Amino acid sequence: MITRIRDVRRARGLTLADVAAACTPPTTAQTIGRLETGTRTVSVGWLNRIAAALGVTAGDLVALPERADLPVAAVLSPAGVHAPRHEQVLTPPQPEAGALAMVVAAGVGDYRAGDALWLERLAPDAFGRALNRDVLVPRPAGRFLFGRLIGREPGRLQLLPLGPGQRQQVIADPAWIGVATRLVRELG
C-alpha cells in the first residue's frame, strides 16, 4: 500500500516526533519514520492511529489514483509569500461518514449567502465538545435552530442565535447536534 503519511505530516508542519507523541498510545519517531518510508508495513490500525494524530481521515493517508492533489505553489506568512521549503501537496477535503451539510441562503453573522457548512454529527454524550462553537440543533416538525452553543446544563442546551439583537434560546437536549467543522466559500 502506498501511503501519503509523509506528505500530510509535512503539509501540517509536524515532525516525526510530533506525530509520534500525538498518537494514542504514543509511539516513537522511528516507528513513524519506518511507516512513512514503507520499511514497516502499515496496518489499518496504524493508519487509523496516525490519521487521528494528524487530524485527517485514514483515507487521506492512502494514495489513490483517482484523487487529485493540489501542489502547493507558495506559502503566505507575515513575512510575505515564498516558495515552500519542501515539495508539498494538499489533499482536497472529504466529508467524514455521517457528516451533514447546511447551505446559507442569506448572510447572517459571519456567514455569507452561498456558503456551505460541513457539520459533524454529535451524540448527547459529546455535546461538551461543541461549547462556544456554531451548531445546528434539530427541533420538532423538521425545524432547526442554528447558533453558538454557549452553555449546557443537565437536560438543556443554551444557544445564542447569530442574528443581531436575538435572545438566547434554551432547548431540551436533542437526540443529536451538528457542530460546524468546515466552511466552504467561493471567492470572487
What confidence tier does 1 reach under pLDDT thresholds 50, 70, 90?
low
39 vs 131 pLDDT, higher one: 131
CATH 1.10.1740.10 fits 5-90, yes or no: no
DSSP notation for 80-149: EEE--SS--EEPPP-PPTT-EEEE-SS-BTTB-TT-EEEEEEE-GGGGGGGTTSEEEEE-GGG-EEEEEE
Intrachain domains 5-90 and 100-184 with the same fold: no
CATH number given to 100-184: 2.10.109
CA dist 161 and 148 (Å) reads 6
Domain boundaries, the chain: 5-90, 100-184
pLDDT in tens, 150-188: 999 888 999 999 888 889 999 998 999 999 999 999 887
Q: The pTM is what?
A: 0.60
